[in-house]
């Protein structure tokens, strides 16, 4: 029987499009105002790809950045996991496309659909597969090109005003024997009873025809209950992971949350009585990048002067499904 081996975040990477989109530009496409966007969401800017670009154009540079930080090459990767809500094609998986672009060879490659909690779910999978010896080096990618899924009508503007594009990458490897660095715990959860808080009906086989125009291809969000459910489970999973590890929030050096909008983050910070200075936030600058938000925020922190070896980091996410989760990582 194989013994448990803890897992390291060996490298992180991120990629953002070059084109910045201000609120002033956003309101030219939708029936809204700059004041409304800023007061309701706290978003001031987001980045969108050019029309000729696709998701691969963000995921591949993010992957290379993470591998470089880890001191590894594509030849070292023996498993690829991708989480996205905006793949280049409906099928095959985005992971298969990225596998070919990176030249990974015939290693297993698959997509997961944990929405904005994709990084936490992917860490849960990768950590357990490495710990049991099934894999040695897992490349985990989360990315979105949400600008190509925006509904600028009155029905979709409540979410579209938030959306940005981006990609993040994490390389997971086995920790050396006796290493102080590694995951302390990971929790992942879901409750499908709340799927209609944020969902996309089509294309899907629940419609009379798979590509029925009546099966709307755009996100639909029920804002007020979504806000309440997100805040409730953001805070609850933070308390849960701390309790089962005998920790207090005062023991945490850095909190890295998914970036849904600034108002949700402010409410979570208030309920947890967090020091805002400990919380990594970038939603005002980058918007809501769905599954890319967490890994981009993690990577920007890891590549910045704010990162210090020995810090205890709490990552927390919430997404449609509903899905949510948290991870404790000791750098």
pLDDT of residue 1: 43
Radius of gyration of the chain (CA): 19
The catalytically annotated residue of 15, 116, 137, 238 is: 116
Strands (E), 57-209: 79-83, 109-112, 137-144, 166-174, 182-190, 198-199
Neighbours of 180 (CB within 10 A): 10
Q: Which two tokens stand for residue 132?
A: 């049991």
**Structural domains in the chain, sorted by start:** 7-174 (3.40.47.10), 182-330 (3.40.47.10)
Contact by Cβ (8 Å): 175, 130: no
Tokens of 249: 């929030």
Identify the H or E element spanning 323.
strand 323-330
Residue among 124, 94, 256 nearest 187 (CA) = 124
Strands 45-48 and 7-15: unpaired
| Number of alpha helices (DSSP H) and beta strands (DSSP E) in the chain | 10, 13
CB atoms within 10 A of CB 113: 15
Q: What is the pLDDT along the chain (331 residues), one digit of tens a residue?
A: 456 789 999 999 999 999 999 999 999 999 999 999 999 999 999 999 999 999 999 999 999 999 999 999 999 999 999 999 999 999 999 999 999 999 999 999 999 999 999 999 999 999 999 999 999 999 999 999 999 999 999 888 999 999 999 999 999 999 998 899 999 999 999 999 999 999 998 888 887 777 766 667 889 999 899 999 999 999 999 999 999 999 999 999 999 999 999 999 999 999 999 999 999 999 999 999 999 999 999 999 999 999 999 999 999 999 999 999 999 999 9
Query: What is the 3-state secondary structure of 60-127?
Result: HHHHHHHHHHHCCCHHHCCEEEEECCCCCCCCCCHHHHHHHHHCCCCCCEEEECCHHHHHHHHHHHHH
Is 294 within 8 Å of 317 (Cβ atoms)? yes
So what's the pLDDT on residue 34? 98
pLDDT at 206: 83
Task: Report the pLDDT value the prediction gives residue 191, as an integer from 0 to 100.
Answer: 98
Which pLDDT score is estimated for 215? Answer: 62
116 is catalytic: yes
- DSSP SS3 for 90: coil
């Amino acid at each position: 029987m194989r013994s448990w081996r803890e897992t390291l975040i060996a490298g992180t990477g991120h990629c953002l499009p070059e084109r910045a989109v201000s609120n002033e530009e956003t309101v030219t496409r939708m029936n809204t105002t700059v004041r409304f966007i800023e007061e309701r969401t706290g978003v001031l800017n987001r980045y969108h790809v050019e029309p000729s670009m696709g998701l691969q154009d963000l995921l591949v540079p993010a992957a290379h950045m993470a591998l470089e930080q880890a001191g590894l090459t594509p030849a070292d990767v023996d498993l690829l996991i991708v989480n996205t809500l905006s793949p280049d094609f409906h099928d095959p998986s985005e992971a298969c496309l990225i596998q070919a672009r990176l030249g990974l060879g015939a290693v297993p490659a698959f997509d997961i659909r944990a929405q904005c909690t994709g990084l936490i779910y992917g860490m849960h999978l990768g950590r357990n597969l490495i710990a049991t010896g099934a894999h040695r080096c897992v490349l985990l990618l989360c990315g979105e090109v949400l600008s190509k899924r925006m509904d600028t009508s009155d029905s979709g503007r409540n979410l579209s005003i938030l959306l940005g594009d981006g990609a993040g990458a994490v390389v997971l490897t086995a920790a050396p024997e006796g290493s102080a660095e590694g995951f302390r715990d990971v929790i992942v959860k879901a409750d499908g009873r709340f799927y209609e808080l944020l969902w996309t009906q089509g294309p899907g086989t629940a419609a009379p025809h798979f590509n029925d125009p009546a099966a709307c291809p755009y996100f639909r969000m029920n804002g007020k209950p979504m806000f309440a459910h997100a805040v409730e489970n953001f805070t609850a999973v933070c308390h849960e992971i701390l309790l089962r590890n005998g920790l207090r929030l005062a023991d945490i050096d850095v909190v890295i949350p998914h970036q849904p909008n600034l108002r949700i983050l402010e409410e979570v910070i208030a309920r947890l009585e967090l020091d805002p200075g400990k919380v990594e936030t970038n939603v005002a600058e980058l918007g809501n990048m769905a599954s890319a938000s967490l890994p981009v925020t993690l990577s920007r922190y890891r590549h910045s002067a704010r990162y210090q070896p020995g810090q205890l980091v709490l990552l927390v996410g919430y997404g449609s499904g509903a899905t949510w989760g948290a991870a404790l990582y000791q750098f």
